[in-house]
Amino acid sequence: MGSNSTDNNFRKDENLLVKPGKKVDLTNFDTRYTANFKDKEDAAEMLAKDITRLAELQDMLYAMNKYSLLVVIQAMDAAGKDGTIKHVMSGVNPQGCNVTSFKQPSVEELEHDFLWRINRAMPKRGMIAIFNRSHYEEVLVTRVHPEYIVSQNIPGAETVNKIDKKFWQKRYEIINNFEKQAYENGTIILKFFLHISKDEQKKRFLARIDEPEKNWKFSTSDVKERQLWDKYMNAFEQAIENTATEYAPWYIIPADRKWFMRAVVADIIVGTLEKLDLAYPTISEKEKQELQEAKTLILNEDKGK
3-state DSSP call for residue 68?
Answer: strand
Task: Check: CB of residue 160 under 8 Å from CB of residue 143.
Answer: no
Separation CA 18–CA 152 (nearest Å): 32
Q: Where are the domains of the chain?
A: 9-299
Q: What pLDDT is attached to residue 161?
A: 94
Pick the CATH number of 9-299 from 3.40.50.300, 3.40.50.20, 1.20.1440.230, 3.40.140.10: 3.40.50.300
Separation CA 64–CA 56 (nearest Å): 12
What DSSP assignment string belongs to 21-50? T----GGGS-TT--TT--SHHHHHHHHHHH
3-state DSSP call for residue 75?
Answer: strand
Q: What angle do CA 111, 181, 80 make, to 5 degrees?
A: 70
Nearest-10 crossing angle of helices 165-184, 229-243: 50
Task: Check: CB of residue 83 under 8 Å from CB of residue 300.
Answer: no
Q: What is the 3-state secondary structure (H, E, C) of 191-217?
A: EEEEECCHHHHHHHHHHHHHCHHHHHH
Between strands 187-195 and 68-75, the pairing is parallel
pLDDT per residue, tens digit, the chain (305 aa), is 333 444 458 999 999 999 999 999 999 999 999 998 988 998 999 999 999 999 999 999 999 999 999 999 999 999 999 999 999 999 999 999 999 999 999 999 999 999 999 999 999 999 999 999 999 999 999 999 999 999 999 999 999 999 999 999 999 999 999 999 999 999 999 999 999 999 999 999 999 999 888 888 888 888 899 999 999 999 999 999 999 999 999 999 999 999 999 999 999 999 999 999 899 998 888 988 998 999 998 988 877 65
Would you give the distance in Å from CA 100 to the centre of its chain? 10
